[in-house]
Amino acid sequence: MTSTELVTSAGAAPAVRRRRRAEPDIVSAAGERISASAARKLTNAVPRNSRNARASRWHSYALWCATYEWTEDEPNAVLSYLSDLGDRGHPATSIEAHFSTLRAMRAIQGIPLSDPEIKACRLVIRHRAGEEADDPLVEPGPLQADPVDLDELRLMVRTLDRTTVRGKRDAAVLLIAWWMAARASEPARLNLHDAKITTVKIEDEDGRRKTCQALIIKIRRSKADQSARGQEVRILAPADQELCPIHALREWLDVLADDGQLTPGPLLRRIDRHGNIGVKAAGRRPKDDRRRGGITADTVNDIVKAAARAAELTPTPTPHELAAAAQAKEEAHAAVEVAPTAEEADAVLKAWRTARRAARAAVRRITAHSFRRGWIQQALAAGNPPETVALHSRHSLRSSAFDAYRRKKVPWRENPTRFLGLAA
């Protein structure tokens, strides 16, 4: 066979049937065309909360530029905007978040910030952090969710009526979320096939092998795993059935089986006020029909907050307190409207934000993230190696986020002042 026999004979090109897409192609700001499908996937590759936060920060910056007659791409516009945020009482962590967004957006637009402006922005943020540290009216640092330990988890679980459908669902949410050190979105994303109950053999303290129940949870995708490589969380059943996530999961699976819903789909499902479960429950349809009938991260947060209030771990704001907070906000913004100068308006806003932050810092804050923080801190306090705890919580040991969870305090029993002979 010669090489020429492999070449098709010349002729007319085959006829091409052209197809029209239901969705028109998108033209980018640079004038380049991209299919609507590709544009949608690029957009959804960034978590929705992150997209919303970035859009909000850019809108705030654009509004500031229009108000004070700056152009968005003008040198030192970002620097001046960040300085103004500090003058209005925004904490350094918020200003840092605005800086990161604006720096990235300017780079995308082909007008990156200059190196001197970047350095100047960082100096402004550092200055604001120093102001917060020196402020006698409010404790510096970000407002974080307080950790929930095992004893407090027990109190929260005991507020549930575990004889009801909703009580069984909520117990499964609380116990699975705590034991897997979950982000709020992770239990909400679980599908029925992602949770597997099994038995394993482990050695006890005397070296004897014994059989234990275990729960293996497959996290398909998370905040720290946007590429969806998947991570596995393994949980041994605790001796206390009241706090056992496997027992709670079995009770919830029995509920689904009794309702004829032990079918592929979300593991943790919605319940409406009439007791209807999953797809039978009334309410708004989710953006992703595949998650229809499932709970959301907001649902997880609501369940945690409600249980914390019921257990009296956090206060419930009274109508008078809510009205007073709303009035203070209204009065502050009214004063801003009549302020003769921008500096006076900023001072009013700063005073209002400082007072609001002090009020929020004075009470305990429990959210779904309290479970993640609480499990990590309790696991570390129990003497588990940090690398083992980080593996369970899906952190890198070099992660600044994991480092923030670790309370770098010397235990009282090891406190050096104890050995000076003066401690009682």
pLDDT at 152: 96
- In whole angstroms, what is the distance from residue 324 CA to residue 330 CA? 10
Helix residue spans in 70-184 (DSSP H) = 77-87, 92-108, 115-134, 150-157, 165-179
What confidence score (pLDDT) does residue 66 get? 95
pLDDT at 3: 46
Based on the domain organization, do 171 and 230 belong to the same domain? yes
Instruction: Give the chain's domain count.
Output: 3
Residue type, 318: T
The residue among 102, 134, 166 that closes a domain is: 134
pLDDT of residue 4: 46
Q: Say whether both 300 and 331 belong to one domain.
A: no
Q: For residues 123 and 257, state if they share a domain.
A: no
Residue 384 in domain: no
Tell me if 216 is assigned to some domain: yes
Q: Residue 57: which CATH number? A: 1.10.150.130
pTM, rounded to two decimals: 0.77
Q: Which residues of the chain have pLDDT under 70?
A: 1-14, 29-30, 138-142, 224-228, 284-289, 406-411, 419-424
User: Are residue 255 and residue 120 in the same domain, yes or no?
Assistant: no
54 and 101, same domain (yes or no)? yes
- 214 and 268 within one domain: yes
Q: Rounded CA gap, 282 and 214, in Å?
A: 34
Residue 2 forms part of a structural domain: no
Please, where are the H alpha helices in 11-114? 36-44, 48-68, 77-87, 92-108
- Give residue 47's domain range: 38-134
| 74 Rama sector, left if φ>0, alpha if ψ -120 to 50, beta otherwise | beta
Identify residue 191 by its one-letter amino acid code.
N
256 part of a folded domain = yes
